[in-house]
A and B are shown apart, each in its own frame.
Chain A
Amino acid sequence: MHLDDLTGVSREEARRWRRVALVLILIAGLGGPGQTVDAAQPAEQSVPDGFVPMDDVPAEEQLPAAPLLAAAYIVVWVLAIGYLWTIWRRLGSVEKELAEALRRVGETDGA
């Protein structure tokens, strides 16, 4: 006994249904999932390839200006006062050495 006789579907008809099923599987496999994702996410929210710059940074993510401004002014003051202090220190050292040298010259002249 042949299978066609049991189901009542001819061989030609079964082949046609197989083709239809194959086409539907192909459509579902290729286009189906894409359409599903596209439908789930709006077009403007598509996943970007890399980092995308933002025009307006939210306030909570912005660097505070006041500490940076204070830091800049402190740096200037520290450098100015620090440099003046190094000059004063070097000058003190040289003048001490100078006084010593003058004393030695005086001793030499006296001798």
Chain B
Amino acid sequence: MNRRLFPWLIGLSLVFFVVAPILIVRAPLEQEMGLIQKIFYFHFSAWMAMYLGICILGISSALFLFRRKPAADRLAVSAAEAAIVFGLMGLITGPIWAVKSWGVWWNWDARTTIALILELILVAYLILRTYGGPGSDRLAAGLGMFAMANLPFLYVSTNIWRTIHPPTSVVPTLPVDFGIPLWWSFAGFIVLCLALLTARVRLEEQRATLDRLYLALEDE
């Protein structure tokens, strides 16, 4: 991955994250929830960044599994880690919002439960990569594809099952005043996700170089 890309991406995400609070403060208050609804702008965006991370994980896992591309494996493990971080943001900001809006920290509705399971699958992926030993990269690739297969269920869960979460139709029909800070934050999180991914892939590349060097030293 291009190492010169990282400063640009992190700089751009910084611009997004500095301006986002200003737009969020200026956004109107929601009639039912009031001030606490403003968590939505970062909560939704964090989940979308997690979706992106899981999509990259699934596709690169498939590429590694079927085409045997080591670069794809390095991208997969980086995407899994980034997806965990963004998923954690969603899992923490969600209950903070819920305790005010719903009166409970946690609600075992379909979306919340699937999101938690997906986060646990990603953690399982990393544990397998860390402690699985030889061949665990291919097993983990299967798990990565399985994680991506869960994404549509997570997305449509609010439309299929009875849940306290609002349906997916809320975001596309948002009034402009709510939409501007949302899509700005969304762009910020996507750029931040790409920046973190670039840095994380660089780490994997350096580790691969180090492994090759150690092998060369052992041969000599």
List residues of chain A with CB under 8 Å of any chain B CB: 63, 65-66, 68-69, 71-73, 75-77, 79-80, 83-84, 87-88, 90-91, 94-95, 97-98, 101-102, 104-105, 108
Contacts and interface: CB of A to CB of B under 8 A. Distances in A.
21 contacts: A65-B34, A66-B35, A68-B97, A68-B100, A73-B42, A75-B93, A75-B96, A76-B46, A76-B93, A77-B17, A79-B92, A80-B85, A80-B89, A84-B199, A87-B196, A87-B203, A91-B203, A94-B207, A98-B213, A101-B217, A105-B213
A100 B10 CA distance: 29
A66 B21 CA distance: 14
Interface of B: 10, 17, 21, 34-36, 38-39, 42-43, 46, 82, 85, 88-89, 92-93, 96-97, 99-100, 192, 196, 199-200, 202-203, 206-207, 209-210, 213-214, 216-217, 220
A94 B199 contact: no
Give the top 8 A-B pairs by smallest Cβ distance, nearest first. Answer: A65-B35, A65-B36, A101-B213, A72-B93, A72-B96, A72-B39, A94-B206, A83-B85
Contacts of B34: 65
Given A68-B36, A105-B213, A91 B93 contact: no
Contact of A75 (B89, B100, B210): B89
B35 A84 contact: no
A79 B88 contact: yes
Chain A interface mostly: helix
Residues of B contacting A: mostly? helix
Given A83-B85, A84-B199, 9 more contacts: A65-B36, A65-B100, A66-B35, A72-B93, A80-B85, A91-B202, A94-B207, A98-B206, A101-B214
Contacts of A105: 213, 216-217
B177 to A, nearest CB: 18
A29 B84 CA distance: 69
Given A69-B39, A108-B217, A79 B89 contact: yes
B106 to A, nearest CB: 15
B211 to A, nearest CB: 10
B84 to A, nearest CB: 9
Contacts of A94: 203, 206-207, 210
